[in-house]
Structure 1
Amino acid sequence: MTIRSLAAACGAALLCQFAVSSTVFAADAPAHWVSAWATALQPIPQRADLPPLYRAPEVAGRTVRQVVYPTLSGKSARIHLSNEYGKTALVIDDLRIARSAGGAAALGNGEARVTFGGKNSVSIPAGAELDSDPVAVDMDQGAPYAISAFMGPEQRIVAWHRVSNQVNYISAPGNHTADTSADSFRGRFTQYVWVTGLSVDAPSSAAVAAIGDSITDGMRSSLNQNRRWPDALARRFVGAGNRATAIVNLGISGNRLLSDSPCYGDALVRRFDRDVLERPGVRAAILLIGINDINFAEMPARRGLDCDFPHTSVTAADLIAGYQRVIAAARHRGVKMFGATLTPASLSASRESIRLAVNQWIRTSHAFDGVVDFDAALRDPAQPNRLQRAFDSGDHIHPSDAGYTAMADAFPVTVLVNSTRK
């Protein structure tokens, strides 16, 4: 595992960028919002012959309850709503947040109504995004929270985060936002919709954004268990005594660096500003993407919905140019950029040569502020183009829970401890 300059001074090391001082803030100091949880949206293909996997549930006039796990604590929170891909207004008639009691149940004593300009309801125009008013609510790092939205009578889902690895809930018709019981929430779905961020007022804190494709998204990790590698990294922060740094996950399964997809979202070079740089409190990002760019060129075209379209061929030079665009955008905004090597995926010889060339550049170019070598952490020493058996979920591309933990373990714990010191 290689993280450039980690043996050097803290200022050049990953996560030491987020060391915080013991400054005392006045009671009337302005809020310092930091992303504590986030997800990235992708449009749903709009066509009549969608396979069941891409059909959104009915939500009009019902309550949608989503479960999120903030990675920072605080006494005040804001919820970020997005209608980025909407063609009509996003209408929510009532929105509440409460501590989850497991499944679709919520705790009544922690429930708080969320307002927008002092109003209980909100209508967000097509293409727009909006933060709620601050909500006085105790946010505990790592605990589950239920965000319940009573949807307008005409509301449809046209965008989502498709692979949430989290069961969320839809009620029977009516406003059930204040219900603590799970009885009304019989519908289940495993996507996130509209709620794309939760930030807390945390003056001495900062956030790290993990962005990439399905391996950052946690594809094939255990449902409802928070076993993605960013989750494991967040737990390592806490274990190292650092409770002032949030980890937010902006991975999208199937996402590519350079090409948009009908199913897998905008190319990362296009979504990076919105999904990372515009998040409050983000001071660094960890980039892991490129395998789908390499792979999709050889995927057969499909009739009907072809999620791999366009089947664009890429070279290592193409990917490197894309990385450089992302790095430049981050540095323009003062955000540190850390590169992760592409993990083994049992590729054909021609595609493997691209992966190896890209990884060599990531390790040696000094283009990033630091490098974490996920390839070295996961590969089989006897067959370096393959995942170790213990780290393979079974499809030879996505890690198992143990593999995702090994990725988080690739960050030296000593650096995490040092990042809490002055």
Structure 2
Amino acid sequence: MPRPATAMIIVRLGLITLCALWMHAAAARELGAQAGGASWVGAWAMAPQAVAQHPAAPSYDRAPAVFNATVRQIIVPTLPGPALRLRLSNRFGTQDVRIDKVAVAMVRRGAAIDPATLRTVLFDGQAPLRIPAGGSRVSDAVDLPVQAGKALAVSLAVHGNVTPQTWHKLASQVNFISAAGDHADDAGGAAFTRRVTSYLWLDGMQVRVPAAEHAAAVVAIGDSITDGMRSTLNADRRWPDALARRLREAGIRNLAVLNAGISGNRLLHDSPCYGISLEQRFARDALDQPGVRAVIVLAGINDLNFGFVAPHAGLDCDVPHVKVSAADLIAGYRALIAQAHARGVVIDGGTITPANLPPGRETVRRAVNAWIRHSHAFDGVIDFDAALRDPAQPSRLLPRFDSGDHVHPSDAGYAAMAAAVPLGLLQARPSAPTLGAGGGRAVAAASP
């Protein structure tokens, strides 16, 4: 249902005012980061989300308990640098989380690490730390050379018995929890007896790069299609991963690709399972990333679908069951564009991919895609729809790009999405901050 126009205007004006304040804060952070001729740029990220709090939550919606054990998590940076910093988040926690020790090292295989690369990570000069409820911590600099595409293991020795309230549910990566004790410095993987496919507390890693390299980050933000649902486990086959590889293969080594997708996420509405709406988390998960130059937005399919899911007892991840129109989604996109331009960040829009929708919802999808392609509201357009659709049945994914559920791409489909990104869009420098419409650098695409 369309929102009341008056309320919509008030919300948008409020967002624009907040964006102006965020812009000044970001400028101050950037000046500090660039002191000494170097800057900190995001090299890896995952968007934090709240763990569903409901007694009837199924096991896959419950975070694993950590009983005085060590969590070892595998990340793959997309930007090289001589030093790194880690960011830990307890954004949705109601109690502080105590960590006795944090360590980082290069991965050998599985949970095993290269001991020659092992480094203790300090926070304000101390090894033990508390991540405050509702807050986050950024580490001191760690002198460990980082290679783009080479996996790192981040080990957190957790104090006491803790059930995380902040996580990233879908990792598409096996991570590890040890038997009891501090195993942060263990070179072997024998102590890491439990396997999980989520990220716990770890939500970002930055690298230090010389200012002369003009390094920057591109943030991909969206839902499960950006999060890599149904991609091959432990293979880094999400479309942002494929885009990072494509940049390296093209010799573009000063651009990181950060993944801020959350499976099930909606543009306009929060969910108890699928995170705060993209509209509300956009500043934190995209614009606040260190060194961000451009954002790619792909969102809307869950907004179209969840309004038609019948409510049910217990944990209902699909609430609110609100039907949305093309105008609703377009208003949401315009709010993102205003936020990005207020911060001087390029924002590119991705067309909504085919999902075998019923006729009514398919009509809305096509109307939204037509607006994305032809309105010139976004700074650029990435036609994911054209890259993935079956020419004979444009409402469907091409069979070889279909993972099998007719919504999420296969590994080949994710690769096709990365191939559809015009690299020139990502290399364009952002213009001066503006609250106006987009720059009109849309990429031509034929409508189905």
Q: Give the alignment's TM-score, normalised by structure 1.
A: 0.91
Contact 1:165-1:222 at 8 Å conserved across structures: yes
The amino acid of 2:402's aligned partner reads D
Counterpart of 1:370? 380
More helix by share: 2
Establish whether residue 379 from structure 1 lines up as the match of residue 386 from structure 2.
Answer: no
Contact 1:242-1:419 at 8 Å conserved across structures: no
Deviations 1:101-160 (CA, angstroms, capped at 9, x unpaired) = 111111100010000110001112111111100111010110000000000113221121
Match of 1:106 among 110, 113, 125: 113
Cα distance in structure 2, aligned partners of 1:315 and 1:180: 54
Deviations 1:72-118 (CA, angstroms, capped at 9, x unpaired) = 11111000011100000021110000001111111100010000110
Counterpart of 1:191? 198
- 1:303, distance to aligned residue in structure 2 (A): 1.6
- 1:176, distance to aligned residue in structure 2 (A): 0.2
Establish whether residue 239 from structure 1 lines up as the match of residue 249 from structure 2.
Answer: yes
- 1:419, distance to aligned residue in structure 2 (A): 7.0
Counterpart of 1:298? 308
Cα distance in structure 2, aligned partners of 1:31 and 1:65: 29
Match of 2:179 among 167, 172, 181: 172
Counterpart of 2:281? 271
The amino acid of 1:162's aligned partner reads K
- 1:247, distance to aligned residue in structure 2 (A): 0.3
1:305/1:88 Cα in 2 relative to 1: closer, same or farther (>3 Å)?
Answer: same
Equivalent residues in 2 for 1:198-347, closer than 5 Å:
198-202=205-209, 203=211, 204=213, 205-347=215-357
Cα distance in structure 2, aligned partners of 1:386 and 1:121: 52
Cα distance in structure 2, aligned partners of 1:306 and 1:52: 14
What 5-or-longer segments of structure 1 have no aligned partner?
1-26
Establish whether residue 55 from structure 1 lines up as the match of residue 62 from structure 2.
Answer: yes
- Specify the SS of the correspondent of 2:245: helix
Establish whether residue 181 from structure 1 lines up as the match of residue 191 from structure 2.
Answer: no
Cα distance in structure 2, aligned partners of 1:52 and 1:123: 27
Greater relative CO, 1 or 2 (CA 8 Å, sep 6+): 1
Equivalent residues in 2 for 1:58-73, closer than 5 Å:
58-73=65-80
Cα distance in structure 2, aligned partners of 1:168 and 1:74: 24
Contact 2:65-2:161 at 8 Å conserved across structures: no
Counterpart of 2:143? 136
After TM superposition, which residue ranges in structure 1, 4 or more long, deviate above 6 angstroms? 416-420
Cα distance in structure 2, aligned partners of 1:300 and 1:394: 23
Cα distance in structure 1, aligned partners of 2:396 and 2:166: 34
Cα distance in structure 1, aligned partners of 2:91 and 2:422: 37
- Specify the SS of the correspondent of 2:108: strand
1:351/1:252 Cα in 2 relative to 1: closer, same or farther (>3 Å)?
Answer: same
Match of 1:46 among 48, 53, 59: 53
> Which region of structure 1 is more displaced relative to structure 2, 334-343 or 303-312?
303-312
Q: Give the alignment's TM-score, normalised by structure 2.
A: 0.86
Counterpart of 2:416? 406
What 5-or-longer segments of structure 2 have no aligned partner?
1-33, 430-448
Cα distance in structure 1, aligned partners of 2:347 and 2:160: 43
Contact 1:91-1:155 at 8 Å conserved across structures: no
Match of 1:75 among 72, 82, 86: 82
Contact 1:34-1:207 at 8 Å conserved across structures: yes
